[in-house]
Amino acid sequence: MTTLTGASLVVDDQLVDGAALVVRDGRIEAIVSTDAVRPAADVVDLTGHIVVPGLIDLHVHGGGGHSFDTPDPAAHREILAFHARHGVTTMQASLVSAHPEELDRQLDALSDSVGAGLFGVHLEGPYLAVSQCGAHDPAALRPPSAGEADRLLARGNLVRMVTVAPELDGIPAFVRRLTDAGVVVAAGHSEARGPELAAAVASGLSHLTHLWSCQSALVREGPWRVPGLLEESLASNHLIGEIIADGHHLPPALIEIARRCLGDRLVVVSDATAGAGMPEGYRYRLGVIDCEVASGVGMVVGQDAFGGSTTPLDGMLRHLHQTLGWPLPEAVAATSTRPARVLGLGDRKGRLAAAYDADLTVLTPALTVAATLRAGEWIHR
């Protein structure tokens, strides 16, 4: 048993002082008054710090100079360690679009790395629109082939999320097969309009990949205004939407629009690449696309286009609270509680509560990460 005392605790929508966390066998046993804690070897004094539920990142391509598309378990471990230093206790490995043989090779390698913080794989493609490819190889993009959903599902619980363009041929049946098996399907990198999105939603699509990045928006057809995927998504009463809150991808006004439209269905993702944590000018690849760290963000080399993010999730937590003025519990919800629900883990991760996993992030008053625990074990300190 370990007792963490002295820190402020983010408990749901409250910042609680004068309480201690009792951790036993990898779970939170109780939250008790500090007055009830007696000095002992297993008491850790965190006075001056803030404890929040471990951050959960749905969309991670890499970090610290490594990418998840590298077929090297050592590189995968380095990525997990990098993000643990930034307070992340659970994540998905996101893969950009690749040709079938290459994608199979990447999935084979990642199958050995799932666990210990890596929940599963997010396929960001290749079922995307060429016109909205962003930093994806347009030559690798395609509709799903017959039987492809079954081939992905044959890998067990490896693939947990798939991003698709709803307008592609065969998408409704593909979505239905995946969602019936518990895979989260998202719309993104798409030219979809209302009817195409509606058909995918009717088949089980529930999520939106990085709002405002590579998706159709309002157009005029004669005197008529036709909403795109963006507006249809923001007007939805049930879809969950991601934003990249790194201070580069979206200005404050757009983040506020998403916040007001989606409320507690808004989640924050890092979209972190191998460039995360690397110096200015560092070169990396997203699939076959050359990118570099430029002015604190990932850019496609030679283009005025983003190439993913270089900001880990704790940096986005700070941006929400310190720059945009979000209450700290709301920023924590967007980076932990709500992502846990997306992954179906809301009954055991993403909250400081009895019986929940002791996945914890310890923050300094400046909201930098002082320590990270997964299942009650210190993985960064």
Active site members: 271
**221-231 exposure pattern, b = at least 16 Cβ within 10 A, e = fewer:** eeeeeebbbbb
Are the C-beta atoms of 110 and 66 separated by less than 8 Å?
A: no
Return the H-helix or E-strand segment holding 152. Answer: helix 148-153
The answer to whether 61 touches 284, Cβ cutoff 8 Å, is no
Rounded CA-CA distance 132/123 in Å is 16
**Residue 124 assigned as binding residue:** yes
Show Cβ contacts of residue 166 under 8 Å, excluding neighbours closer than 6 positions.
Answer: 187, 190, 192, 196, 197, 199, 200, 205, 229
Identity of the residue numbered 326: W
| Residue 189 assigned to a binding site | yes
Please state, in angstroms and as integers, the Cα–Cα distance from residue 293 to each residue in 56, 101, 315, following that order: 24, 29, 16
Binding-site residue numbers for Zn(2+) are: 124, 189, 210
Binding-site residue numbers are: 124, 189, 210
